[in-house]
Structure 1
Amino acid sequence: MELSDEEDEEAPDAWLAEKDGFTFWADNPIELLGLAAVYEDARPEADRPYWWSAKTVRERPSLREQLVDEALAAQDARVAELAAQREQDPVAWEAEIRAAFCWAEDEIHAAVHLKLPRVEMRQILQDPRLADLRDQDAPQK
């Protein structure tokens, strides 16, 4: 951290980090962390002004693509895990679904709690054992 000039009360402190010959400057630790993440994703060749906005040739998926792929894989694994539980231990499966509804106020929040896509949650709620949850989540007229 580099403190601002004592004579200029409005000047912000600076947060600095160095890596691989690059110096990163930011106004706060969160911005510094974000800049470091952009550096890791862009992997610029030289420490030039505005390197973070330069067009780069990507030989690998972007950070966003990597995170989306990881999230989809985790979601698919969770769907498969619950499907297997439903077959192997339907009582525990039902208890887990019901517990999510105790925590959540509706189908959307239950899906988030269970780490499932909403479409999967809607499909799960079609199970006859969960009819009361389906009715509870239906819009009131």
Structure 2
Amino acid sequence: MASLGSHANVWDTCLQLLRRQGYHLEVKLADEEDEDGLDAWLAEKDGFTFWADNPIELLGLAAVYEDVRPEEDRPYWWSAKTVRERPDVREQLVDEALAVRDARVAELAARRERDPGGWEAEIRSAFCLAGDARHAAGHLRLPRAELRRVLDDPRLVDLRDEENCGTDV
């Protein structure tokens, strides 16, 4: 479980950190008539301007600047320290996450065969702890599509009923 996550309650901490690092901060408010409009958060330092949809993203952009420390604003200055290798880090992390997810699906399927009572108890417990299917899938570390397949089991049909700690997936 993350001890710090991306949430609006972290925004002021990010903005204060940027100020301590010498950034001039500004927010451009979205047009009130634009339903989907987002405020734009800006930070400026040493002639470089950064903009983001929220202060957490803004802090991330400033961290890139602080790491690279470009002498001038040239195209793609932010990638000066980026190593171009394949697969890239994002692809590696996604591949790792897919492998972990697939292993968890296989692990739960194997438990169903090996220990049906324990398998059922684990799923029921996740539903009762979570309160809804979306969060139960998270507790079980399963994709929701896989949880829907699991709930097709006749032993678990009642979990689709909210009165039994379940809800539609």
Q: Give the TM-score normalised by the residue count of structure 1.
A: 0.62
Q: Deviations over 1:98-122 (max 9, x none)?
A: 0100111211111111110111000
Contact 1:126–1:134 (CA under 8 A) maintained in structure 2: no
- Aligned mates of 2:21, 2:81 — CA distance in 1: 27
Structure 1 runs of 4+ aligned residues shifted over 6 Å read none
Unaligned runs of 5+ in 1: 1-10, 16-29
Counterpart code for 1:128: P
Counterpart code for 1:14: Q
1:130 — aligned with what? 156
Identity %: 61
Q: Is 1:72 equivalent to 2:98 in the alignment?
A: yes
Indicate how the Cα distance of structure 1 residues 76 and 104 shifts in structure 2: closer, same or farther if over 3 A, else same: same
Q: How much is the aligned-residue C-alpha RMSD, in angstroms? A: 3.3
2:4 — aligned with what? none
SS class of match (2:155): helix
SS class of match (1:60): coil
Counterpart code for 2:132: D
- Aligned mates of 2:85, 2:151 — CA distance in 1: 43
Indicate how the Cα distance of structure 1 residues 60 and 138 shifts in structure 2: closer, same or farther if over 3 A, else same: closer
Contact 2:126–2:140 (CA under 8 A) maintained in structure 1: yes
Q: Which moved more, 1:101-110 or 1:73-82?
A: 101-110
Contact 2:104–2:142 (CA under 8 A) maintained in structure 1: yes
Counterpart code for 2:96: E
Indicate how the Cα distance of structure 1 residues 56 and 35 shifts in structure 2: closer, same or farther if over 3 A, else same: closer
Query: Aligned residue pairs: how many?
Result: 107
Q: Is 1:102 equivalent to 2:109 in the alignment?
A: no
Unaligned runs of 5+ in 2: 1-17, 23-58
Contact 2:133–2:168 (CA under 8 A) maintained in structure 1: no
SS class of match (1:58): coil
Q: Which moved more, 1:130-139 or 1:117-126?
A: 130-139
- Aligned mates of 2:20, 2:126 — CA distance in 1: 45
Q: Give the TM-score normalised by the residue count of structure 2.
A: 0.52
Q: Deviations over 1:17-50 (max 9, x none)?
A: xxxxxxxxxxxxx759x549xx7xxxx9xx7546
Decide which structure has the larger Cα Rg and report it: 1
- Aligned mates of 2:95, 2:20 — CA distance in 1: 37
Q: Is 1:113 equivalent to 2:139 in the alignment?
A: yes
